[in-house]
Chains A and B, each alone.
Chain A
Amino acid sequence: MKFTMTVSPDFSPDYIAGWYIFNTWLQNQTNQAIHLELYNSFDKQREDIKADKIDLIYANPYDASMLIRDKGFVAIASPYRKTDEAVICVNSESEYSCVEDLKSGCTIATADDPEVSTIGMIMLEPADLSKENVTIEELKNYVMVAKSLIGNKADAGFFLKEAFDDMSKFIKSQIKPIVTSQISVIRHTFLIGPDFVNNSGISEEDFRQLINSMHESEKGASTLKSLGFEKWENQDHEEAEFMIDLMDTLVS
């Protein structure tokens, strides 16, 4: 049997090679044939999840809900100490110094990332801003969001905190954060689907053990490094369910 693994399309392009290395490591450890399918569209990936084409996934908290509650996926682990946070930035010369300075009718630049957009829109609520009274400029990536701020096209932009932190010094000197989320409980999670659990010949417990002890071997540790992770942290079923409950309070 051949399985398919995928990664939430919001992964940083720096780690594409890392995901291939992880897939090779996983195939060696499990003796299973696993094909890695990467998507650049959230919608196309969701279509394939709905069509039961995915068996293993590094999922964003948004999709984790559908995967766990509708598709019977099981949460295995999240990257140690990594949580998903968003930053709202403006041009560093601008007069905006807090969210409340932004007014109805302003333009917000975003990269196509539903999770960051959700957290970003929540952080705009105190300024009475919503999808109804702002113009959203949807761009391909975070560098383009920064450029839109620098060129004074958008008033504010949403960034994944990690992406903001990784921006060049030159870009960072031209934009300034006005608010950063500190949600700390919402995170990407590695999940396995019912087909993999039932047909791979590896029990959920053994798989969990394999992933969570990955950093203990030299090969595992270097593979994790290529993903930008220190190690995995176990996510049990209740932790994942609770994260989904929290996500549910954030989406309208």
Chain B
Amino acid sequence: MSTVELKYHDQSTSSREVSDEEVPYPEGKLIVSRTDTSGKITHCNQSFVDMSGFEENELIGQPHYILRHPDMPAAAFKDLWDTLKAGNKWKGYVKNLRKDGKYYWVYAVVVPNIRNGKVVGYASVRRKPSRTKVNECIALYKTMLAEEQS
């Protein structure tokens, strides 16, 4: 376990525990959350709460980067936001950070919630990822992160 200082796009920072212990994805479940247009969490399901290690009231109203893991390259989330802002569906593999410092991998699909022609928020539905794909992403994200930090 080590403590890492995380910096987010809105210039805020937080120091978080990070450990190298993985928590397996819960079989058969979908992890669901919704955000407002700025990325603040407005709803989440029980699997989301359980996997994050936070209490529901610690999550609602918080920016979604509360789950951001330092091993994730910024470019992945830039791609996510660019895709959503263009009105499209984003899909990708994400390593998430739990409150206790452990991590879990998901395959996420994020869509804009469009009501009467307007984007009112976003929803993300995660499912159990393929290990092969996760291993590819571990290598890919490492390279991307190294480039971003150089």
A contact residues vs B (CB 8 Å cutoff) = 100, 122-123, 125-128, 179-185, 238, 241-242, 245-246, 248-250
Contacts and interface: CB of A to CB of B under 8 A. Distances in A.
Contact of B45 (A179, A185, A241, A250): A185
A142 B32 CA distance: 29
B55 to A, nearest CB: 20
Contacts, number: 56
- Contact residues of A: prevailing secondary structure: helix
B92 interface: no
Contact of A246 (B47, B125, B128): B125
Contact of B130 (A128, A245, A246): A128
10 tightest A-B CB contacts, nearest first: A249-B109, A249-B125, A126-B128, A181-B28, A128-B130, A182-B28, A182-B29, A245-B123, A179-B28, A180-B28
A125 B111 contact: no
A245 B132 contact: no
A184 B132 CA distance: 28
Contacts of A123: 28, 128
Given A123-B128, A126-B25, 8 more contacts: A127-B130, A128-B130, A128-B133, A179-B28, A181-B28, A242-B34, A245-B111, A246-B32
B28 A125 contact: no
Contacts of B130: 125-128
B28 A245 contact: no
B144 to A, nearest CB: 23
Contacts of A250: 109, 125
Contacts of B129: 125-126
A123 B28 CA distance: 7
A245 B45 contact: no
A190 to B, nearest CB: 22
B5 interface: no
Contacts of B128: 123, 125-126
A100 B24 CA distance: 14
B83 interface: no
B9 interface: no
Contacts of B29: 181-183
